């Protein structure tokens, strides 16, 4: 029975990956964050940049999965085709967040030290509160979405040491503006 459950999870995870991670939208987000990472700190060695790119990728996957798991009620109404809405077995998806979180936390510490780890912890706390929706204001979808989008500029603070804090701040503002505009533009089509 366990083998069948793991096999089903593996199949579902592959389907989830194709549907929600290996997409043009995620590729665009990743490319934007990599370019802004270079803008924030252009004097970076190739191997350090590669580690930052891998860290951004792991962060995107981790937070995409967490967001999709937290958003199942909304997705049930507006995106019934999504795998995490259609499946009743999400426990292993939740469990898979643990190793993703450990990996991304360790990678963040490697590339940005304590500053990155502090930003990571702050983002996790913020999103846990947002996903729990304890305040009536958070039940309003536009406010909820804007708070969730803060993860993208935070990814820059998690992957770029603050040697030039002004460049990092500007790159982060550009990231937030870009993902906000993209989300607003595409949200009209999806809703």
What CATH number corresponds to the domain at position 47? 1.10.357
At 141, the pLDDT band (50, 70, 90 cuts) reads confident
Supply the mean pLDDT for the chain: 86
Lowest-confidence segment of 4-8, 110-114, 171-175 by average pLDDT: 4-8
Evaluate if pTM is beyond 0.85: yes
Distances from the Cα of 129 to the Cαs of 18, 62, 92, 102, in angstroms?
A: 28, 17, 22, 20
Q: Which domain holds residue 92?
A: 2-190
Predicted pLDDT of residue 191 = 46
Question: Are 36 and 171 within 8 A, CB to CB?
Answer: yes
Predicted pLDDT of residue 187 = 65
Predicted pLDDT of residue 31 = 94
At 138, the pLDDT band (50, 70, 90 cuts) reads low
Q: Which residue has the higher pLDDT, 47 or 7?
A: 47
pLDDT (tens digit, 9 = 90+) per residue, 16-68? 888 888 888 889 989 999 999 998 888 888 999 999 999 999 999 999 999 99
Instruction: Kindly give the interhelix angle for 24-40 and 46-70, rounded to the nearest 10 degrees.
Output: 140
Angle at 101 between CA 13 and CA 50, to 5 degrees: 90
Instruction: Give dist(CA 106, CA 88) in Å, integer.
Output: 31
pLDDT for residue 2 is more than 60: no
Predicted pLDDT of residue 5 = 52
State how many domains the chain has: 1
């Amino acid at each position: 029975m366990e083998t069948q459950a793991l096999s089903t999870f593996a199949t579902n995870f592959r389907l989830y990956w194709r549907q929600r991670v290996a997409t043009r939208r995620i590729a665009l987000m990743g490319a934007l964050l990599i370019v802004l990472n270079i803008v924030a700190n252009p004097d970076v060695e190739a191997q350090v940049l590669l580690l930052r790119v891998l860290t951004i990728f792991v962060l995107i996957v981790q937070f995409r999965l967490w967001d999709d798991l937290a958003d199942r009620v909304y997705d049930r109404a507006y995106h019934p085709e999504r795998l995490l809405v259609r499946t009743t077995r999400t426990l292993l998806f939740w469990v898979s967040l643990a190793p993703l979180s450990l990996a991304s936390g360790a990678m963040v510490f490697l590339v940005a030290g304590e500053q990155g780890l502090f930003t990571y912890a702050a983002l996790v706390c913020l999103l846990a509160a947002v996903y729990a929706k304890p305040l009536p204001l958070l039940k309003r979808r536009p406010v909820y979405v804007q708070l969730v989008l803060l993860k993208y500029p935070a990814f820059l603070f998690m992957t770029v040491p603050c040697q030039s804090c002004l460049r990092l701040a500007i790159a982060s503002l550009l990231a937030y503006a870009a993902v906000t505009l993209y989300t607003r533009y595409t949200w009209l089509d999806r809703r």
